Amino acid sequence: MSLLFFSAFFFTSANAGTIEQAKQLHDRIAGVPASQSALLEIATLLDNNQPIEAAYKAMENPAFYSTTLKLFATPWTNIEQDIFAPLNDYSATVIGVVRDDVDFREILQSDMIYVGKASLGLPAYNNNNNNHYQALEDQFIDLSDGLERTTQSSLNGLPPQATAGVLTSRAAAKAFFYLGTNRAMLRFTLMNHLCTDLEPLKDNSLPPDRIRQDVSRSPGGDSRLFINNCLACHSGMDPLAQAFAYYEYQFDGNADPTGELGAITYNQAGVIDATTGTRVQRKYHINSTTFPYGFVTPDDQWQNYWREGSNQKLGWDPSLSGKGSGAKSLGQELANSQAFAQCQVKKVFNTVCLRDAESEADLAQINATTDSFKQNGYQLKRIFAEVGNYCMGE
């Protein structure tokens, strides 16, 4: 077929307005221009009143996985929220879950991880480095086909019941279990997956009974600071962060001060920490003399105090108890909240529309798409499709 004939056929098969919409839809979703054949297929689907199918067609472009989804997920994997950080087990798992239409709630609770296919000849997954994923990226492997799902417990040494999707990935451990007191894992999970930081969740009406010993009750000699600031955050945060009490990111601080070669570790049953005398990691007893009468963490039993008071607004699932042990059950609690579902839609909106929701129409679309997300098995590709269609006329 000559180029002239193809062009004439192309523009008589769909009106110019539809062509422009198809181009916009593909560009926003895949992040790269469409081929003429793909553009024609998308435009034809739009003309046939099949907008969701048109968006799925755009998602067939490998750039949707290697560019759009990688940039979408990568900031969640590091404290700096750097979108250009290397591919890792966290971001690869998110990409694989979206590709395979897995219930997106599983990213916070399942014994799963996505790795490069064995047939690719990559360095094996190693719990002490990121070489496997760096090779995937360096070799420009097509992530729409080059990833496969396996169990996390078969690779990182955690028992299946201690796995919690990306929360127990090596990348997350390196970023959020690194030093500190493991509160960072809760904070960044809230930021990345419920779209809220701790500041908006402050509530000084909750009891302080689970606040750890390292929090002063009179910072600077003024107890009012504790009541109005410290208590307002820690009363809800500390009982939840207790879920991570048995986890650590272990590395040689002398030979590897930045922790590049570290690994996630977990105190299984029978493993006793010499400092705490229990399975609880010693970091939970850091600065225990700051307020000796504070809470001493005995195990990984967590409780969601935010089910009461102002933070009921996060929409907790009434079918769940609001308490449990370990990261897996906490991931289930967070992933089944209304805030989790709406957060994913907001992030897709920002990615595809290249802006935040602003108008009443935008907010109505966010709410409608959140309902659709929940009704359609929490499949994130469909959210890209619905939001892409909403924004393609801009």
Q: What is the pLDDT of residues 177-199, one digit of tens each?
A: 999 999 999 999 999 999 999 99
Which among 86, 64, 274 is positioned nearest to 170, based on CA atoms?
86
| 83 and 104 co-located in one domain | yes
Q: Which helix (H) or strand (E) holds 370?
A: helix 360-375
What pLDDT, on the 0 to 100 scale, is given for residue 297? 98
Supply the DSSP symbol for 195.
S
Which among 70, 18, 84 is positioned nearest to 389, based on CA atoms?
18
What pLDDT, on the 0 to 100 scale, is given for residue 17? 85
The tally of domains found in the chain comes to: 4
| 230 and 352 co-located in one domain | no
What pLDDT, on the 0 to 100 scale, is given for residue 79? 97
| 50 and 105 co-located in one domain | no
> DSSP strand E in the chain: where?
113-116, 147-150, 247-250, 263-266, 301-303, 323-325
CA distance 91 to 172: 10
Which among 143, 48, 60 is positioned nearest to 385, based on CA atoms?
60
pTM above 0.75, yes or no: yes
Q: Which residues contact 333 (CB under 8 A, 6 or more apart)?
A: 304, 316, 317, 320, 322, 324
Domain boundary among 61, 80, 107: 61
Token code pair at residue 247? 């986890």
Q: Is residue 330 part of a domain?
A: no
Q: Is residue 290 part of a domain?
A: yes
Kindly state the average pLDDT of the residues 103-113.
98
| 344 and 225 co-located in one domain | no
| 117 and 222 co-located in one domain | no
| 57 and 78 co-located in one domain | no
| 100 and 149 co-located in one domain | yes
Predicted confidence band at 115 (pLDDT cuts at 50, 70, 90)? very high
Which among 159, 185, 5, 180 is positioned nearest to 78, based on CA atoms?
185
* pLDDT over 50 at 38, yes or no: yes
Domain that holds residue 91: 66-162
Predicted confidence band at 1 (pLDDT cuts at 50, 70, 90)? very low
| 299 and 212 co-located in one domain | yes
Q: Is residue 324 part of a domain?
A: no
| 195 and 127 co-located in one domain | no
| 299 and 193 co-located in one domain | yes
Q: Is residue 13 part of a domain?
A: yes
Predicted confidence band at 5 (pLDDT cuts at 50, 70, 90)? very low
Q: Is residue 319 part of a domain?
A: no
| 304 and 373 co-located in one domain | no
DSSP result, 197-208:
-SGGG--TTS--
Q: pLDDT tens, 339-384?
A: 999 999 999 999 999 999 999 999 999 999 999 999 999 999 999 9
Question: Distance from CA of residue 295 to its chain's centroid?
Answer: 30
What pLDDT, on the 0 to 100 scale, is given for residue 311? 98
Question: How many Cβ atoms sit within 10 Å of the Cβ of residue 15?
Answer: 13
What pLDDT, on the 0 to 100 scale, is given for residue 11? 43
Domain boundary among 103, 134, 162: 162
Q: Is residue 313 part of a domain?
A: no
Q: Is residue 328 part of a domain?
A: no
Q: Is residue 329 part of a domain?
A: no
What pLDDT, on the 0 to 100 scale, is given for residue 347? 98
Token code pair at residue 256? 């590897």
| 348 and 229 co-located in one domain | no
